[in-house]
Chains A and B, each alone.
Chain A
Amino acid sequence: MREYFSNIWSGLFTVLVGMKITFKHLFEPAVTIQYPDEKPKLPERARNRLYVNMDDCIGCDQCSRACPVSCITIETVKGLPTDDIGKTSNGKKKALWVTKFDIDFAKCCYCQLCVFPCPTECIYMTETYEFAEYNRDNLNYSFVTLTPSEIEEKKENYAKLEAEKAAQKAAAAAAPKPAPKTEE
């Protein structure tokens, strides 16, 4: 009998306790972050979309080799001795024209492994994480700054240079030099 009444009492009492708690929460400010309008602050070192600063890139291919999923594709062409390709911000002289620098973000796993080997620190993570696309091909970002015609020109220049060298070689019958190889 005693148990019966204490059950009733504890039942009613605990309901009231619960109601008090929910009532208090009625006046508490919401914790919601209304996403597209308000964005949560990203933590330091958050890993998002990559960016390549092509002014600094020397086309050394180290990032591409570090990538575990091979999503970076780099093609380079050697510059002519007369070409001024410019200098990187930390003073290195550039020797290669980068004719292709594609990162396929559909494959990228945002591991950041490509960022560390870069000698000129020109590939890095940005704050952008909203870049969904309807077509997967659109996720293949190209970072080259050269126009297609320029790329053609550089390639032709190099081919000409090679041809000249080969002609000289044949003519002078000099010691054969190993052919300069283009990366990939």
Chain B
Amino acid sequence: MIIYDFLSELFGSPVLAAFIQSFIPLIFLIPFALFAVWLERKVSAFMQDRIGPNRVGAHGWLQTVADILKLIQKEDIVATNANKPLFNIAPVLVFAGSYLAFAAIPFSSAFIGSGIDLGLLFIVAASGFVVAGILMGGWASNNKYSLLGAVRSAAQVVSYEIPTVLVILSVVMLTGSLSLYELSEMQTSSFYNWVIFGGTAPTLQKILLIPFMFIGFIIIYISSLAEVNRTPFDIPEAESELVAGFHTEYSGMKFAMFFLAEYANMFAVSAIVSAIFLGGYQSPFGYLGNTIGWEWLVPIEQFFWFAAKGIFFVFVQMWLRWTLPRLRVDQLMALCWKYLIPIAFVNLLIIGIIVIL
């Protein structure tokens, strides 16, 4: 918010300010993706008692930079029988879809891409965009593995959207707001006010709410994992069966775009989960800036907490990835339709009743 005001004053035009503002998350996202790829490789290596990348830079931290340089140099191969326009649009669409979500995620009280009131709804809708891109890429590749991966991905994302939305709904019943910015502002001052601990409801309600909020948190975490196609829900790209799923035919920069989108997505869902349940950018205790009277420090601290929570959940995603084997298609659907959706539904009803009380 503050950054937007500053920009529009600087350029004297709200349109230009909004345009520039839209690139700000990218400044965070690209270094994050590079870092996350490195982290993923290190985490996987350590969990398997290996060393991981350690040649380029200290502990291999420049490895991903080198990889990106390599990907940029690579030849851009388009298969002869691919549908070229769709094939070329797909990676852009997938990345745009995951970048859209960042428009509604508050990075700190000073910065949110767009302070729309329907942030959560917007994000749910934007995740549909990604499916379109994935289906497009899979279909346009004219490769049976790609198509299979894309179709699986669509089936998976569509099914898992239901428990996500049900949990979001139960949170909205409690807080009465769909704006992530307002949600985060509501959970201020201490971790006791986080939605996972019943938000700012009266004490009795809080105690009743905590177990159900925990259940909701677990459900939304599992289903968001499925929405970003991470292991154990990675059947869309299942290396061992489908080569690489929908991006089998892609090379060079287009492949890098898919990769970037995957890591952007990982961070987006982590940020959304933490904004809904764990206070978003709010610190779990007070702010240093408030204590020593430096007001300007608060937004920076908030950004730190936002990044820390996001990266922590990204780490948990990696941790799960290197722990669990992949689910079969029928198990995947059974988990969603037989377990997550009914539980989310009952949870929604119970939270509703508690809120009315």
Contacts and interface: CB of A to CB of B under 8 A. Distances in A.
B50 A25 contact: no
A93 B251 CA distance: 69
Contacts of B343: 8
Interface stretch (B166-174, B236-244, B304-312, B320-328): B320-328
A7 to B, nearest CB: 8
Interface residues of A, number: 18
A33 B341 CA distance: 48
A25 B319 contact: no
Contacts of A34: 51
Given A22-B47, A30-B50, A32-B50, A15 B324 contact: yes
Contacts, number: 40
A21 B323 CA distance: 8
Interface in A1-35: 7-8, 12, 15, 18-19, 21-23, 25-32, 34
Contacts of A21: 323
Contact of B46 (A7, A12, A19, A30): A30
Q: Is the interface of B mostly helix, strand, loop or mixed?
A: helix
Contact of A28 (B43, B49, B323): B49
Interface in B25-58: 43, 45-51
Nearest to B52: A30
B339 interface: yes
Q: Is the interface of A mostly helix, strand, loop or mixed?
A: helix
A21 B320 CA distance: 11
A28 B101 CA distance: 38
A19 B47 CA distance: 10
Interface in B302-357: 319-320, 322-324, 339, 343
B323 A26 contact: no
Nearest to B342: A4
Contacts of B49: 25, 28-32
Nearest to B44: A22
Nearest to A21: B323
Interface string B80-116: 0000000000000000000000000000000000000
Interface of B: 43, 45-51, 218, 319-320, 322-324, 339, 343
Given A8-B339, A15-B323, A19-B323, 8 more contacts: A18-B323, A18-B324, A19-B319, A21-B323, A22-B322, A23-B319, A25-B47, A32-B49
13 contacts: A8-B343, A18-B323, A19-B319, A21-B323, A22-B319, A22-B322, A25-B47, A25-B49, A30-B45, A30-B49, A31-B49, A32-B51, A34-B51
Interface of A: 7-8, 12, 15, 18-19, 21-23, 25-32, 34
